[in-house]
């Protein structure tokens, strides 16, 4: 039976361990390089992620300590290693797996996405020895001219010699049901545990190509592609009858409304300052005052307006003083002059993305 999960996704049999933690926002997203041997027409990477860059969630990584700090802030119970192809920088990827296991224990669950193109026996054995728990292959299934596809499939066969969970993860591309079935049968025959299917999404970089190929977004508000979800469901029905794999059809809505929100909530608990309110969505809400001379403004707020100093924080980087929302509302009413007051809502992420700004009269 294809069942609807509580996370706006669909499944056959049980969810892979990596997904169970991911939907709860408990997986650190560790991007170990943007380098990749492939060039998929649907590649979701933004231009600034296409080089040899490293990120832990939104945090740019200079060394492994940044990775550990981000995992601590999130109270992560595991990590999903992604890219690019993490095997394009194998030594770095292996070092991060090893360090995460050393710092957070052997139960810290780590899964990894790869094309398979670079998954030689030696590379797989390094990953296994470092403690990798689950490996997900995304071969060049939808490119009939692929030179890499054969190499990838040969490499994937070798992954079954190790004692870890092996699965596939591919986008659901309208018109490609036969290729998806072929891959499911291949994985099933070799003893894989699962095949994950992602609802196809466009990005700024791929929209034109996808439109030229005849694909359409489902609506103006969504990045999902029409027909992908329906095809995914049809594929799951087929898979249930014809293979013994587990399947998870991961939707655009799951990534947006569930996984991200849950991760933000976990992070907010650890980064919220006393004057910030953590909202249902996992954002931080507080008041701010903007003025040219922050020291003068601070002195005024403490001495003239008598705001307790523990309620105030000078944020020089952003050129503002932060405070509880109610204080900003009250001051906006009472203070005259060039000081501007706002209520803001920000993500509790490293880049503190501002998602709302309400000017106070
Ligand atoms: C974002 S990739 C990261 C790892 C690696 N770059 C890869 O493609 O396998 C993880 C998964 O996302 C899926 N994916 C790739 N492009 C997608 C797209 N445009 N829409 C939805 N899912 C996509 C693939 O199934 C892939 O296994
Ligand atoms: S394998 Fe992943 S990163 Fe590489 S081109 Fe394809 S979608 Fe992009």
Q: What is the pLDDT of residue 256?
A: 86
Decide if 201 contacts 223 (C-beta within 8 A): yes
Per DSSP, 343 falls in state: E
Cα distance between residue 100 and residue 110, in whole Å: 9
Asked if residue 116 has its Cβ within 6 Å of ligand 1, the reply is no
Q: Which ligand is nearest to the CA of 198?
A: 1
**Chunked in runs of 10, what are the mean pLDDT values of the chain (361 residues)?**
95 97 98 98 96 98 98 98 98 98 98 98 98 98 95 98 98 98 98 98 97 97 97 98 98 94 97 96 98 96 94 96 97 91 98 97 85
Give the pLDDT score at 131: 98
C-beta of residue 53 within 8 angstroms of C-beta of residue 34: yes
Q: Is 140 in the pocket of ligand 1 (CB under 6 A)?
A: no
Check if 83 has its Cβ closer than 6 Å to any atom of ligand 1: yes
Ligand 1 mean position, distance from CA 83 (Å): 9
* Spatial CB neighbours of 257, under 8 Å, sequence gap ≥ 6: 8
Q: What pLDDT was estimated at residue 335?
A: 87
**pLDDT tens readout for residues 273-326:** 999 999 999 999 999 999 999 999 999 999 999 999 999 999 999 999 999 999
Per-residue pLDDT at 108: 98
Does the Cβ of 113 fall within 6 Å of ligand 1? yes
Distance in Å, CA 36 to ligand 2 centroid = 6
Which residue's CA is the closest to the ligand 1 atom numbered 25?
Answer: 170
Is the reported ipTM for this assembly greater than 0.90?
A: yes
At residue 312's C-alpha, the angle toward residues 306 and 316, to 5°, is 130
d(CA 267, CA 277): 13
Location of structure tokens 């954002």? 283
43 CA distance to ligand 1 middle (Å): 7
Any ligand 2 atom below 6 A from CB of 40: yes
CB atoms within 10 A of CB 48: 8
Asked whether 115 lines ligand 2 (CB < 6 A), one says yes
Report d(CA 144, CA 124) in Å as an integer: 26
Assign a CATH topology to domain 2-267: TIM Barrel (3.20.20)
pLDDT of residue 336: 84
CA-based nearest residue to 259, from 32, 19, 11, 30: 19
The runs of H, that is alpha helices, within 272-321 are 294-299
Where do you find CATH 3.20.20.70 in the chain? Answer: 2-267
3-state secondary structure 12-69: ECCCCHHHHHHHCCCEEEEEEECCCCCCCCCCCCCHHHCCCCCEECCEECCCHHHHHH
């Amino acid at each position: 039976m294809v069942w609807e999960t509580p996370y706006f996704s669909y499944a056959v049999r049980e969810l892979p361990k990596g997904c169970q933690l991911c939907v709860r926002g408990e997986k650190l997203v560790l991007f170990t390089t943007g380098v990749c041997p492939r060039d998929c027409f649907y590649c979701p990477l933004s231009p600034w992620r296409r080089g040899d860059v490293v990120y832990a969630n939104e945090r740019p990584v200079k060394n492994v300590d940044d990775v550990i700090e981000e995992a601590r802030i999130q109270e992560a119970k595991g990590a999903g290693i992604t890219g690019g192809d993490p095997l394009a920088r194998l030594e770095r990827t292996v070092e991060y797996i090893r360090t995460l296991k050393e710092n957070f224990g052997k139960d810290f669950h780590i899964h990894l996405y790869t094309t398979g193109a670079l998954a030689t026996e030696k590379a797989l054995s390094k990953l296994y020895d470092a403690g990798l728990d689950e490996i997900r292959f995304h071969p060049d299934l939808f490119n009939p001219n692929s030179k890499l596809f054969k190499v990838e499939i040969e490499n994937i066969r070798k992954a079954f010699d190790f004692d870890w969970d092996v699965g596939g993860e591919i986008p659901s591309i309208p018109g490609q049901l036969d290729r998806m079935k072929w891959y499911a049968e291949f994985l099933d025959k070799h003893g894989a545990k699962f095949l994950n299917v992602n609802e196809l999404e466009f990005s700024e970089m791929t929209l034109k190509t996808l439109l030229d190929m005849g694909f359409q977004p489902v609506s103006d508000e969504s990045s999902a592609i029409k027909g992908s979800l329906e095809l995914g469901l049809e594929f799951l029905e087929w898979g249930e009858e014809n293979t013994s794999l587990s399947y998870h059809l991961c939707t655009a809505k799951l990534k947006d409304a569930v996984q991200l929100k849950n991760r933000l909530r976990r992070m907010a608990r650890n980064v919220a300052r006393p004057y910030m309110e953590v909202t249902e969505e996992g954002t931080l809400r507080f008041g701010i005052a903007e003025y040219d001379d922050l020291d003068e403004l601070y002195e005024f707020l403490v001495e003239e307006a008598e705001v307790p100093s523990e309620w105030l924080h000078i944020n020089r980087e952003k050129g503002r003083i932060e405070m509880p929302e109610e204080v900003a509302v009250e001051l906006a009413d009472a203070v005259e002059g060039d000081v501007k007051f706002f209520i803001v809502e920000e993500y509790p992420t490293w880049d503190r993305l501002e998602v709302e700004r309400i000017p106070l009269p």
